[in-house]
Amino acid sequence: MEIKVIGPGCKNCKSLLELVRQAVKEAGIESEIIYITDMADIMKTGIMQTPGLMVNGKIKTVGRVPGLKEIKQFISEEI
């Protein structure tokens, strides 16, 4: 599973990254977590408002930090 956290490095983006790490750990799954901070790479994802979250290439949320429970749901949808 590939999970991408998209954002320029702001507080909310870093919070989302930590929540994703926690969700993956609690779910006990193998996952590659990628943190995309380069503006050119952010533009390629199609996400125009950060933070953004993609799981297996699908945009799950944009412009907000979802809670841990919601992140776990996004992950379980892609297993």
- Please report the beta strands in 8-71, taking only residues with DSSP state E, as ranges in sequence order: 32-36, 52-55, 58-62
Distance CA 62, CA 54 (A): 9
Token pair listed for 40: 């050119």
The first and second tokens of residue 28, run together, are: 């006990």
1 flagged as catalytic: no
Question: How far is residue 51's CA from residue 62's CA, in Å, rounded to a whole number?
Answer: 6
Q: Of residues 3, 6, 13, 71, which has the active-site annotation?
A: 13
Establish whether 13 is a catalytic residue: yes
Task: Spot the catalytic one: 2, 8, 9, 10.
Answer: 10
Catalytic positions are: 10, 13
